[in-house]
Amino acid sequence: MPLVLVVKLSVQVDAGWNKAGYQITQQRVPIAVDSGKSLHDEERSQTLIDLNRAGVGLMELVMCCGEEAAAAVRQLQLILQALGTCQANMAEGQIRVDANVSVHQSGEPLGVRREVKNINSVMHLAKAIDYEIQRQMEVLQSS
């Protein structure tokens, strides 16, 4: 059963023309431990078990854009460093970040979720999220 807590992060977001400092509040942040995943191979009629992340702590945060997500991860890195938990170096795998992106038109149900795995820097996190948001918006507009 995941532990749930309230998280408040003070972040600085650079929107290009405007730098804004504000607080991100997440009312429900599930904290759990990854148990691994099943990989189904239809061709060979077998299931493989990937335990690459087994035992690794998970925290899920909801953000609105790439820069906000990057700012939140930077703040979490500083917190982990200050606590002495780890250096939180993404390039060395000390923390891992995945992004799940789903866009939808106002009043419509959530769209298809696309997951970007094992992002190794906050810069790549922001770019990956913004790229995927733009891609999904173009798909919605063309349909």
**39 with 11: CB under 8 angstroms?**
no
Tokens for 91? 């390039």
pLDDT band at 46 (very low <50, low <70, confident <90, very high): very high
pLDDT at 1: 52
Domain count, the chain: 1
Average pLDDT rounded to a whole number, residues 97-122: 89
d(CA 122, CA 73): 7
- Overall pTM > 0.95: no
With 60 as the cut, is the pLDDT of residue 4 above it? Answer: no
Between 129 and 23, name the one with better pLDDT.
129
More confident site: 30 or 116: 116
Give the model's confidence band at 118: pLDDT under 50 very low, under 70 low, under 90 confident, else very high. confident
pLDDT band of residue 135 (cuts 50, 70, 90) is very high
Domain interval for residue 97:
3-142
